[in-house]
Chains A and B, each alone.
Chain A
Amino acid sequence: MHTPTSTAVFLARGITKVYRMGEVEVHALRGVDLELYEGEFVVLLGPSGSGKSTLLNILGGLDIPSAGSVTFREHNLTQATERELTSYRRDHVGFVFQFYNLIPSLTARENVALVTEIAQNPMKPEDALRLVKLGERMDHFPSQLSGGEQQRVAIARAVAKQPDVLLCDEPTGALDISTGKLVLEAIESVNRELGTTTAVITHNSAIAAMADRVISLHDGRIAGVQHNTTKLHPRDLNW
């Protein structure tokens, strides 16, 4: 059993992100300061277009900010080379994408193995799948799985390498309540049992109740941070 500590894993200062599309400039982030602590469960809330995905991508080393600095432990993500970002992602980060992004030509087990094969200290793909309650469906292809099952494979894939951080972009966006809860339970148990620092993006403020901290984004800025004194278990959530 892990509990959040006060050691900051991520330290972001003044990050901005500007997308240039011809004449038009889109300010996706307009100066965000942020810390994420070891073992903590954070929910990122905010309306569509507020910059949630952009922020998560930067934390995950998928993208670099236009200005500002981000560090993960001793790694400076803003000055990292392409190669350093790749090994950062490979060694430390687990991603769950909004649209699953499973490889359709690989079975559930193989999709997980894709990641464990290049990880330093992975679980067995089978164990990861059992963790998300898919032990029976390991040899099925994505097209033979429902949306919720696919999303759970995606979570198994993200946690199987035992990452230091787990970043999830709307993991329940396309799911019904009960499936959504299954998925959230899987994420929660990883956070709880492995102490993985976890950030989850959602539109759904009900989900915020299971977080240690809820960070609200609005128009590229942090509009508020809320500490939950009591966390709800996913099964007790309601929306």
Chain B
Amino acid sequence: MISALDRKLLRDLWHMRGQALAIAAVMAAGVGLFVSQFATQQSLALTQSEYYAQNRFAEAFAHCKRAPRSLLERVSAVEGVAAAEARVVANVTLDVPGLLEPAVGRLVSRPRSGVPLLNDVYLRKGRLLEAGDPDGVLASEGFVLAHGMELGDRITAVINGRRRDLTIVGVVLSPEYIYSIRDGEFIPDDKRFGVFWMNEDELAAAFDMQGAFNEISLDLEPGANGPEVLAALDRLLEPYGGVGAFERKDQVSHWYLSNELAQLRNIGIAMPLVFLGVAAFLLNVVLTRQISVQREQIAALKAFGYSNLGVGWHYMKLVLVIVALGTALGAAAGAWLGTQMVVIYTEFYRFPFLRFTLDPVIVLQAAAITGGASMLGSMGAVLAAVSLPPAEAMRPPSPGRYRPMLFERLGLQRLFSQPMRMILRQFERRPAKTFLSVLGIAMGVAVFVVGFFFLDTIDYVIDVQFNRMQREDMTLTFNQPRSLSALHEVKSMPGVLHAEAFRAVPATLRFEHRSRRLAIMGVSNDSSLNRVLDAKLARIVIPEQGLALSRKLGEVLGVSVGQRLQVEIKEGSRPTREIPVSALVDDFLGMSAYMEIGALNDLMREGQTISGVFLTCDPAGHKDLYERLKATPGVAAVNVKQAALKGFTETLAKSLMITTIINIMFATVIAFGVVYNNARISLSERSRELASLRVLGLTRGEISFILLGELAIVTLAAIPLGCLLGFGLAWALIEHMLDLELMRFPLVIAPRTYGWAAVVVLGAATVSALVVRRRLDHLDLVEVLKTRE
């Protein structure tokens, strides 16, 4: 049997169902985001660790130029090493049928035994390699899918200038290439980059690496001292051109995946908090209103002997029902959203299996956070109900206090019509309430601005990165350093309009106990193709001495301009030098270290040596140039900017589209929730007054004007404030949540974003106004005037 008090609760809820639903919807948006982000994060993390374990993903890696196989035994003997696997890894140019430009293939050796100790592949289709498979390869699934290839299809690799046909016998996935990108790029481009596993004997023979290896991976003993093992490994590889050992956390694919997981967590916390904050705010407004309307009912309940706790609990239950509704809706939305996100993730991150699992704990957490925020939001209102003295019930409410308003004291009343005066009086009599209304709607605007600004900032990043900084058409990378004559060779190729050399040198940068491995880019200050720009897009002149670092890299190393970094070069004569940081660059993608190319050559104690070439080419001459490049030995990779850009925008656009749609949906929910609530509360607060006016002879249009005029003014005032709040929120998000090593987002908000935010909120206001107007038209005068408030 349901108690009379609970019946009251249900009827009250039914009476305010529109508002309750609006609030629940805002909550659901927050819960949905929270659930989807965390569930996706958790699904990915679980899949990741399972996949790693099953395929024995290594815990440390090191590359070198060429080390004898016999070294493997000494590596295995290092204290803390549980297993060691040596491989031959080489990048080659691929000639893929149907693809004009050369693609990059990474060839990875598989041991004679057939089963590697570490980093095993996951066979998706076909079979593994057999001993008598001279040209058989296992191809990465992404590449195969991107080209619509089948088992038995052939691709041509250019190995040391000789073309060699490879046959796909198996399609595989690897924990090393979950996120599969080639050097210097950020977004997977499966059409132009593939990984191929080949029998060790074949691969070693092709690269003159018999009895040798150039890559080693390790598993560590539990509790092993990682840095010490790495140092020992570095010492062992030093004579063989080691480029610095690194742990799993710096492995490219793993690093991207961890970044992504971190970002999911950050967004999973930040955005829901905004939504739940707004929901709590709405609850406060609605409940405060509800309790002030029910003041006498509360007093009567207390007079009958209901305790303060009982009365407080009664109103808390109202909140809890809305919370439950919001959480349930949100969990459902979150589960749906999560499955969508997983689909997107499988396009970027290649897992053999990726199940979307929704841990009930996440939903419970969401419910707890929502409940907590709501309790916080409604606490004030409920306490007011609790502390209401019961003697109130015996007394009629004291009439509101009226006095001449500011504009009347200033003698301005003649400027305004009577209805306009009523609107202004309303504002001036209840400035706090008016401000809260404005603030609420402003939050709707702000959420919209934040949701949309991602598009703006990414547009901006793309423009700066691909149009202003990188102005080449393509980048050639040689498989080893070449003399300047290679530049002239490239210049004389067909269709090449302009070419500039660069030098890239693997190095470890150290400051105090922090270090990073990367390639120092040597560029020329008068390069017209690759320009280092600062935040204001002004060109940074790289000093003759010193390094220019990405500001983020500076942060990571804890170094500031003027301080000296220890630079350990991992190529050639492998010098180690102290080099001052001469500038920090506000760039957006990755982390870079730049030097003047001459200074870098000097540091390397080499003449004019180059690692690759930036070039622009005649659009008509592409085809000949590509043909020529595919046949040129020594060119390890050709990165075509247009293709990269296309991949970048296409893949990013896909994921951004969904994110943006979700943001717009949620922002609309919030905008609508806030505006509608505001309109309904104004309506309920003033329906008596307005009904009296109708009785006095005012038309429907006239009373609508009084109420809707108020709504219009509040909405118009909220838009600029909301834009400001949105700007602040975007700033906070960028500063605290999206400041990643992978990518930084500049605070760029296009006018169209503010415009759209305004349009959506105005739209929500219009719809709310229509609803209210309908209610005003059907205002039951007798009913309204009979009930006492």
Binding site for B on A (CB under 8 A): 53, 56-57, 60, 62-63, 82-83, 86-91, 93, 95, 97-99, 101, 103-106, 110-111, 113-115, 117-119, 143, 157, 169
Contacts and interface: CB of A to CB of B under 8 A. Distances in A.
Given A86-B308, A143-B786, A106 B303 contact: no
Contacts of A106: 4, 7-8, 11
B390 to A, nearest CB: 5
Given A62-B390, A86-B308, A114 B4 contact: yes
Given A56-B394, A89-B304, A117-B3, 12 more contacts: A57-B391, A62-B390, A89-B305, A89-B390, A91-B305, A95-B304, A98-B394, A99-B396, A101-B299, A104-B297, A106-B11, A118-B304
A143 B15 contact: no
Given A91-B305, A143-B783, A63 B391 contact: yes
A60 B300 CA distance: 12
B305 A86 contact: yes
Nearest to A56: B394
Interface string B76-113: 00000000000000000000000000000000000000
Contacts of A89: 302-305, 390
A114 B787 contact: no
Contact of A97 (B3, B8, B11, B393): B393
Given A62-B303, A105-B11, A117 B4 contact: yes
A114 B304 contact: yes
Contacts of A95: 300, 303-304, 393
B512 to A, nearest CB: 63
Given A57-B391, A91-B305, A98-B394, A104 B787 contact: yes
The contact size tier of chain B is: 20 to 34
B536 interface: no
Interface in B279-306: 296-297, 299-306
B307 interface: yes
Contacts of A104: 297, 787
A90 B305 contact: yes
Contacts of A60: 303
Nearest to B297: A103
Contact of B305 (A87, A157, A169): A87
A99 B395 CA distance: 8
Contacts of A62: 302-303, 389-391, 393-394
Given A62-B303, A103-B297, A106-B11, A82 B396 contact: no
Contacts of B305: 86-91, 93, 115, 118-119
Contact of B15 (A105, A117, A118): A105
A131 to B, nearest CB: 18
A110 B390 contact: no
B400 to A, nearest CB: 16
A215 to B, nearest CB: 18
Contact of A111 (B4, B15, B303, B391): B4
Interface in B378-404: 389-391, 393-396
Given A63-B389, A111-B4, A143-B787, A118 B306 contact: yes
A86 B306 CA distance: 7
B12 interface: yes
Contacts of B297: 101, 103-104
A59 to B, nearest CB: 12
Interface in B108-145: none
Nearest to A86: B307
Contacts of B306: 86, 90, 118
Interface string B216-244: 00000000000000000000000000000
B787 A53 contact: no
Nearest to B306: A118
Contacts of B299: 101
A163 B34 CA distance: 53
A82 B296 CA distance: 19
Given A62-B391, A105-B15, A143-B786, A90 B8 contact: no
Contacts of B307: 83, 86
Contacts of A98: 394
A53 B15 contact: no
B300 A101 contact: yes
Nearest to A91: B305
